[in-house]
Amino acid sequence: MSFLMLGVASLISLQTLPLPTMPLIGVALLALVSTGYCVLRYALLRTRDACVAFRLDEGGGIVLVLRNGSHLMCNLSNDSLVTSRIVILNAKVNEQRGGRSVLILPDAMGADSFRRLRVALRWGEIRQGTT
């Protein structure tokens, strides 16, 4: 839902720019395509490289399971966010530049599993391996 709201907000803000009609249409189409891709990849998990599952390893490792069935070995970044309402895992891919982020909301798993994940990330051995 937030991706759609951001897409609509970007289209509304584009209307205030003093651009000629053709470049404005081009930028609006680019914003629509970008919003559509984000919804498909991160909200609906429909792209081949969408992360559909993960596994935490000891020592700061994380294995991302992608929709196409491949497993991506990563290291958990220190800038991952753990709160009571949301977990954002930032993972640095070993063999590539850049990284991946995985957003985990409380309704993605059972309440007890979500609590154990937060405890493991905040206080467990997983975080000790990355400091």
Per-residue pLDDT of the chain (131 residues; tens, 9 = 90+): 677 888 889 989 988 989 899 999 999 999 999 999 988 888 888 999 899 999 988 777 889 999 999 998 888 888 889 999 999 998 888 766 778 888 888 888 999 999 999 998 888 655 444 43
What local confidence, expressed as pLDDT, does residue 124 receive? 66
Those residues with Cβ within 8 angstroms of residue 45's Cβ, 6 or more apart along the chain or in another chain: 51, 52, 67
Domain layout of the chain by residue ranges = 2-43, 51-128
What local confidence, expressed as pLDDT, does residue 128 receive? 46
Q: Helix, strand or coil for residue 57? A: coil
Return the closest-CA partner of residue 127 out of 62, 63, 64, 83: 62
Which residue type is seen at 75?
N
Q: Helix, strand or coil for residue 93? A: strand
User: What are the beta bridge partners of residue 74?
Assistant: 62, 93
Q: Helix, strand or coil for residue 79? A: coil
